[in-house]
Amino acid sequence: MLFASYYDIKFYTRRYRVSYYENIIIIDPDLSEKEIGKATERVRDVITKSGGEVLREESLGVRKLAYNVKKHKNGLYVLLTFKAPPSTILELERLYKVFDPVLKFLIVKLRRKETAALLTSLKTSESEIRSEPTKEEVKEGV
């Protein structure tokens, strides 16, 4: 593929680069579990449709907020770790601004050291899952 200039090359490589991000979302705790599941599913859909992949999702539970946010004193914290192209961040910000279940959000790009630590922790957790015996293996041993 021929490029017109150095800037075209730089844009082309940046456009398809994938970075690692952490995203913390504060969701309205008054919603039912089903509605909270739908809200997190919608966020995951935006990430995957834009070429990203959700690596980890953790619910940190309901916590008291330091100040009222949209007339709420408590919020359900959800932490998402994902890899995606930079264009995904703009789409997520647009979604969060108009999406009612989300009270607040923060998206942080991980540094190289943090990314390396994340990848090693994911590999160790995968190996632990694989090393655990399944129900069939336990029955055969008994």
Ordered mean pLDDT values, 10 residues apiece, the chain (142 residues): 47 66 94 92 93 91 92 94 91 91 93 79 70 59 54
In which residue are the tokens 């090359």 written?
9
Return the DSSP state at 111.
P
Q: Is the Cβ–Cβ distance between 85 and 18 less than 8 Å?
A: yes
Instruction: Please report the DSSP string for 41-52 in residue order.
Output: HHHHHHHHHTT-
Say what the pLDDT of residue 116 is: 78
pTM above 0.85, yes or no: no
Q: Is the Cβ–Cβ distance between 20 and 115 less than 8 Å?
A: yes
Burial of 84 (0-12, 13-18, 19+ CB in 10 A): buried
Say what the pLDDT of residue 3 is: 46
At the topology level, CATH places domain 17-111 in Alpha-Beta Plaits (3.30.70)
d(CA 17, CA 2): 19
